[in-house]
Amino acid sequence: MNIALIGYGKMGRTIEKVAVSRGHHIQSISDPTFNDNQENISINGADVAIEFTKPASAIMNYSACFKAGLPVVSGTTGWLHNWSQLKEMVELHNAGFFYASNFSLGVNILHKVNEVLAKIMNHQPDYKVHIEEIHHTEKEDAPSGTAISLSHGIENMHNSYHSWILDNQGSINEIPIYAKRENKVPGTHTIHWKSDIDEIMIKHEAYSRAGFATGAVLAAEFMIGRRGIFSMDELLDMKQR
């Protein structure tokens, strides 16, 4: 597979390593820093584009790829207020687009297991839930977006819980999320279901950015020959078959 890499920052460089290790070829690299401030992206000869840049440039990059008939895999965050514009562009060009705000396969599998467990626990009132997330000390937001999504997954599947609360026991309808900050931890999330006699825990611990990069490369392999908008749900469902 020939890949047009758009954005050659921390993620772009990690994706390059993962893609090459899976036998793919980096056809082109577009990044204003890497290409001496050249603004146009280069995509000639590529089968798919992988885009990890900045919110302000994402939509323009997608547009250029769609016009050239190239499917796009993107993980750039912070542009989702333009989702309706993106949908129109995909329809207009009959394009292929894959988006995930978290490409880690492990985290996406954790979300699914979390929902199944919450559904089971709906009938087990002795168990109370709380979520713990640990991240590096430079992380500015708390709780993490992933912890909030995990809470939403439980709220959707369990009748007793309706919202989350940060670093606090809260009321019986609130899911406590405890956010810890420790040196150099890329991201750890644990869901605890605790009774007076035992405890069930499901945990995901990221060791590095490689998990995000691997998910993006798998998504690029998945997108060859596909048109329409896809997410990790489709990628994981396909892998389960």
Ligand X SMILES: NC(=O)c1ccc[n+]([C@@H]2O[C@H](COP(=O)([O-])OP(=O)(O)OC[C@H]3O[C@@H](n4cnc5c(N)ncnc54)[C@H](OP(=O)(O)O)[C@@H]3O)[C@@H](O)[C@H]2O)c1
CA distances from 207 to 33, 90, 184 (A): 28, 35, 10
Return d(Cα 18, Cα 23) in angstroms, integer: 9
183: exposed, middle or buried (C-beta count within 10 Å: 0-12, 13-18, 19+)? exposed
Contact status: 9 vs ligand X (CB under 6 A): yes
Tell me, yes or no, if 194 is annotated catalytic. Answer: no
Comparing CB distances to ligand X, the nearer of 7 and 176 is 7
Does residue number 27 form part of the binding site for ligand X (CB under 6 A)? Answer: no
The answer to whether residue 231 forms part of the interface with ligand X (CB under 6 A) is no
Q: Among 62, 161, 193, 212, which residue sits at the site for ligand X (rule: CB under 6 A)?
A: 212
> Of the ranges 72-80, 143-151, 158-166, 181-189, which one interacts with ligand X (CB under 6 A)?
72-80
Instruction: Answer for the pair 144, 186: CB distance below 8 angstroms, yes or no.
Output: no
SS3 content of the chain, % helix, strand, coil (to 5): 40, 25, 35
CB atoms within 10 A of CB 163: 12
Contact region for ligand X (CB under 6 A) — 16-24, 28-36, 109-117, 185-193? 28-36
User: Interface with ligand X includes 146 (CB under 6 A)?
Assistant: no
Of residues 135, 158, 189, 204, which has the active-site annotation?
135
In this complex, which beta carbon is closest to ligand X, that of residue 56 or of residue 238?
56
Active site residues: 135, 139
List residues near ligand X by CB under 6 A: 6-12, 30-33, 41, 52-54, 57, 61, 75-78, 100-103, 212
